[in-house]
Amino acid sequence: MQKGGQPPFNPVAMLKVRVVQAQHNLFDARTGFIIRDRLSWIRFFGFFLAGSMPYENTIPGGQDMFRDITYA
């Protein structure tokens, strides 16, 4: 069975987004705007101009993206 919607973004790129977001004290909406606005950020996160980029609803809030991590 196939789920609808966009496939998830690269977890490494989303981790970079969360780190930069914390460093610059940005909300999800502002972070999504700046990612699409600044070429240097697009390149740093590994996104492409013609590809999809995260916006405020696709940037995971809080610790959601880290809850399923298991440590060996």
Q: What tens digit of pLDDT does each residue of 1-49 get? A: 557 777 788 888 888 998 898 899 988 889 999 999 999 999 999 999 8
Contacts of 65 (CB under 8 A, 6+ apart): 11, 14, 15, 18
pTM for the full predicted model = 0.73
Residue with the bigger pLDDT between 72 and 29: it is 29
Rounded CA gap, 12 and 9, in Å? 9
Q: Which CA distances in Å does 46 have to 1, 8, 67?
A: 30, 14, 23
Contacts of 47 (CB under 8 A, 6+ apart): 13, 35, 53
Structure-token match 């390149």, residue found: 43
Q: Considering only CA atoms, which of 15, 62, 56, 57 is closest in space to residue 35?
A: 56
